[in-house]
Chains A and B, each alone.
Chain A
Amino acid sequence: MNSESKIDPKIIEEMLKFTKNVMDAPKLVSAPDEISLEVTPHDVVHELDKTRLLHYRPLTEKQHKTPLLISYALINRYHILDIQPEKSWVRNLLLQGFDLYMLDWGSPTSMDKYLDFDDYVNGYLDSAVEHIKNESSNEKISIQGYCTGGTIATAYAALHPENVKNYIATAPVIDGWRDTTVISNLAKHMDVDKMVDTIGNMPPEFMYYCFSVLKPFEQGIEKYVKFFKNIDNKKYVDNFLRVEKWLGDTPPIPGELFKQWIKDIYQDNLLIQNKMYVGGERIDLKKIDMPTFTQIAVGDHLVSPECSMPLHYAIGSEDKTLRMYPTGHVGMIASSLSQKKVLPELGAWLAERS
């Protein structure tokens, strides 16, 4: 009897409210399929195979002379950089007067299983850069590489320094042996030859498994509890669904590219040792001699700071800046912190050099 009388009636109230929220959810919010992730207006100005080059329409009258191309990651899609107007990386840069392009890698199919680093670096990225150079009448452009897109952009900047005026590396995957994340632990024990030979491209489902072991209880349970608790908060729900939809939309990774990435970066750690080859050419990080801005998130559990930071010390550039932010991998590019701190710092640095 005693223990019964101790139970706070608010607990029952909370439980009933939570149940009601779950029941009401379909009436209050859109299904993820009904949400469009395309936010900022853009034009598709160039296509090669399944890749598309997006050119964002300007939001300012005057723009900096040098265009900026974003090389997004291979995992998930570029929409996170433009997930909603008030947290949009893209919109912020446009409002700072940058002429902005985004390379959408597209969704590879089985027939793309032989695409490798060479195709991505010397093919797709180079083709996009050449297109922008012609369109904007610039001999060099600025490039930003995020996450695995940072690995590709790093290789590009080393192999084609003549095309890159400024390089921004945002949480790039560089030094696999120093990476302390769960992802790197799984990658180090992977029989990637057998995997690619047997199933071809790296399927999205495998990526989802890798994500599911990162903070499994916070991300797997608590996140959804919070969602239902906040079902009346339109702003919260809208942001949640957009990010969820983005998380659930990751394209396969071409088999050969995945094989080289796992072996050369995580298992043999060739890139940071200047021993990695792309298209028959060795990548020498010292050849990255243009102004370089490296952004690192201290709480990054996908690409640990120890994995990204060595780039800053390995490149040949004399004009180089390293910035660390108290946030996570996604927080660095799509949060209020990124709007208030990360982007203004990047913008100021880039404007001076554009």
Chain B
Amino acid sequence: MQEDSSKNITDYYKHLSLFWTDIMYLMSSKPQALTSTGPMRAFASNSKKITTELIEINEDLMGFNEYLTEYYKQLANAWEVAQKKVNLKAPEVPQDVEQIETFKRIWIDIFDNDFTELFDSKKFGENYGKLVSKELELTKHWNNITNVILQSANLPSKEEIDEVYKEMHSLKKRVGKLELELKKKEMSKK
């Protein structure tokens, strides 16, 4: 029930912001056209994208926090179990240097073993994978917002730069193959 109502509220605010962004854009697009060569025109026409991204960031942030909480919960649980094992194995408070060294060794061995077991577990791997995935979603939104700002300054977006990189990579490969063929031909002439 609580989840439903929180979704309804999010949807309501999403709709509300998009409604007003659209209306304001439509109402102001004609006067803005006067400054069609300036950065504000480009920025205003893309501001809806920023609003949408910000709303979606909020949704993804909720998911990210959920997995982050689970991440720290798993670490805290592993710590608690490991500490109990240490207490059982070394119940006395160390009194001299040798005892401290022994206690430290026991503590490190148990904690390393237990935490490695956790990091090696399916539940940790799955949660960590989802946490990183949500973090990437947040990065994507941030990239999209940055693209709007870049476009308003007539600068190439990340996708456009990626296209150049891709093209360069493909060209390099083709040149490399051509050079190799040329070399082979020269060798066969010799």
Contacts and interface: CB of A to CB of B under 8 A. Distances in A.
B84 interface: no
A194 B136 contact: yes
B140 interface: yes
Given A189-B126, A217-B111, A198 B120 contact: no
Contacts of B112: 215-218
Interface stretch (B4-12, B25-33, B47-55, B95-103): B95-103
B135 to A, nearest CB: 9
A186 B139 contact: no
A114 B115 contact: no
A185 B124 contact: yes
Q: Is the interface of A mostly helix, strand, loop or mixed?
A: helix
B125 to A, nearest CB: 4
B165 A114 contact: yes
A7 B173 CA distance: 71
Interface in B99-113: 100, 104, 107-108, 111-112
A213 B121 CA distance: 13
A198 B140 contact: yes
B132 A195 contact: yes
Contacts of A7: 95
B132 A191 contact: yes
B176 interface: yes
B133 interface: yes
Contact of B115 (A11, A118, A200, A217): A217
B116 to A, nearest CB: 6
A312 B112 CA distance: 31
Given A11-B96, A185-B124, A189-B126, A217 B176 contact: no
Interface string A99-117: 0000000000011111100
A162 B96 CA distance: 65
Interface residues of A, number: 38
A55 to B, nearest CB: 21
Contact of A185 (B100, B121, B132, B165): B121
A191 B120 contact: no
A118 B126 CA distance: 30
A222 B108 contact: yes
B51 to A, nearest CB: 21
Contacts of B129: 186, 189-191
B97 A11 contact: yes
Contacts of B173: 118-119, 123
Contacts of B169: 112, 114-115
B89 interface: no
B168 interface: yes
A10 interface: yes
B121 A199 contact: no
Nearest to B96: A8
A180 interface: yes
Contacts of B111: 216-217
10 contacts: A8-B97, A10-B97, A14-B97, A119-B173, A180-B120, A182-B119, A189-B126, A195-B136, A215-B116, A217-B115
Interface of B: 95-97, 100, 104, 107-108, 111-112, 115-116, 119-122, 124-126, 128-129, 132-133, 136, 139-140, 143, 161-162, 165-166, 168-170, 172-173, 176
